[in-house]
Amino acid sequence: MRPSRPVVLIALATAFSLLGDQTLYSVLPTYYTELGLMPYQVGLILSVNRWIRLLTNHLAERLTRYYNLTGLAVLALVLGAGTTFVYGINALFPILLAARILWGLSWSFIRQIGLMTVVDSSPDVTIGRMMGYYNGISRLGSVGGNLIGALGHDLIGFTMTLTLFGGLSLLGVPLGVLSRKGLPHIDRSVETSASPVGQNPTMYVCGFIVGCVGAGLMMSTLGSVLKENVGDSLSVGAFVIGVATLNGLLLAARWVVDGLTAPLLGAYSDRIGRRRAALLFFSVGAIALLTASTTPGTITLVLMVLLFFACGVGATVVMMAEAGTRGPRTVAAYVTSSDLGSATGPMLGWMTLQFLMPSSTIFIIGGTFYGVATLVSLRTFRKKITD
């Protein structure tokens, strides 16, 4: 089954909006001294957008219940493009920090509207597949920002690259408008005011773990882990691959795996039921990380990391589909729990390294968390008839 028109359009709009954000993650860690930034300032710039979303996710949910989603999508996409222009025009720390806070606000609305557009345009029996398509297509922006953004920085400079990406991000505005065209208006202002966390807190435990281990712990420490296990370079036949290049390839592969496997894993979860799918993805992800902790060799290590990335994609799609079917309040609470995890994960990983623990400890922590999520998901899906 092909993705529906609204899903493709809102996913492409989301992808365009991500270009500037993802470029910063690939460029700032190596270019910050030329911009006159201190290391701690880089850390704040790259993390403050996640912390602010702990507040703005619920603001986005509330406003999308009472106001037209098309108009809110336009405002959010324009604001997101504007922050990308700011990155290129002014690199002063206070300006960049303010822009990142505004990007966090913008992303809360873009993601909330994107997920609800998928829900509004998809029957429940295919929502896993459609969430997979949305996740996969939108992550083209991550691949483009990480790879093309870094290449553009080297060829035409920081300012020009981000200015061009700001212009490209504006292409998402008409796509966002068209994605909502023809969709039925759903009055969400009458939804229950009861706390969604109070209804089913286990879903948000899973959300925290997905964000903490995948987007936080593993993505932020993988380079250090590889350096400890591989050294400065890896010989593959007649080729020598530097550890930084290997890390870059694996991080890019994470988004490629996301784009290629998300629709397939979403369709698979529709077929076997979200409960069974969650158990499968969390348990296999736990096994992959615990196997990697034994450091049986570089090839096995890389394969286990890639397997974990695929399981992380599957778990994300399943949990997003489940949250979407329960309504926008649950979506907002779920993505907030995931954001809290993605903001906590890097601190957890680097504190582990700060205390001189072996890098295998990071895999053990991640595998243990995914093991907990396996058990918790039994409770999360117990009352839902999805099998």
pLDDT digits (tens), the chain, 387 positions: 688 899 999 999 999 999 999 888 777 766 778 888 887 787 788 888 888 998 999 899 889 888 889 999 999 999 999 999 999 888 889 999 999 999 999 999 999 999 889 988 888 788 888 888 898 899 888 888 877 887 788 788 889 999 999 999 999 999 999 998 887 666 555 554 444 554 668 888 999 999 999 877 887 677 667 777 666 666 666 666 666 566 667 777 777 777 778 888 888 888 998 889 999 999 999 999 999 888 667 778 888 988 998 999 999 989 988 888 888 888 888 888 998 988 888 778 777 777 777 778 888 999 999 999 999 988 877 654 443
- Residue 304 CA to residue 121 CA, distance in Å, equals 36
Beta bridge partners of 147: none
What is the pTM (predicted TM-score) of this model? 0.77
Kindly report the CATH class assigned to 5-180: mainly alpha
**Which residue has tokens 């994107």?**
114
CATH number of 196-380: 1.20.1250.20
Residue environment code for 7-34, b if the CB has 16+ CB neighbours within 10 A, otherwise e: bbbbbbbbbbbbbbbbbbbbbbeebbee
Is 196-380 in the same CATH topology as 5-180? yes
Burial of 387 (0-12, 13-18, 19+ CB in 10 A): exposed
**Residue ranges covered by each domain of the chain:** 5-180, 196-380
